[in-house]
Amino acid sequence: MATMAMCPECEVLISIPGTLRLGKIVECPECGATLEVVSIEPPELDVVMEEEEEDWEEDLEDLEEEEELEEEDYLWEEEEDLEEDFDDEE
Ligand SMILES: [Zn+2]
């Protein structure tokens, strides 16, 4: 089953094959743009920069181990900031 969605680059309706889910990557047959599904209902596509996507994959592989170690610290910092903000508002 295919879903129709509009390419934001050339504004042509293209069909998305298979199951529609967020983050699914499709290629526009009209302009060749790489598009990501950013909304299911209604179906919406956004342009993905191909070079950027490649960099992301590499970065994720390199940083995966380091980020795991630092993740706990980030979570604590965020929680503290939120509590302070709430006090100020009240
Ligand atoms: Zn297009």
pLDDT the model gives residue 2: 85
pLDDT band at 49 (very low <50, low <70, confident <90, very high): confident
The mean pLDDT of 48-66, rounded to a whole number, is: 64
Q: List CB-based neighbours of ion ligand 1 within 5 Å.
A: 7, 9-10, 28, 30-31, 33
Exposure string for 36-73, b = 16+ CB within 10 A, e = fewer: ebbeeeeeebeebeeeeeeeeeeeeeeeeeeeeeeeee
- Mean pLDDT score across all residues of the chain: 79
Half-sphere exposure of 88 (CA within 13 A, CB side): 6
pLDDT the model gives residue 54: 58
pLDDT band at 67 (very low <50, low <70, confident <90, very high): low
Cα(90) to ligand 1 centroid in Å equals 49
The mean pLDDT of 13-19, rounded to a whole number, is: 92
pLDDT the model gives residue 39: 97
Partnered with residue 34 across adjacent β-strands are: 27, 48
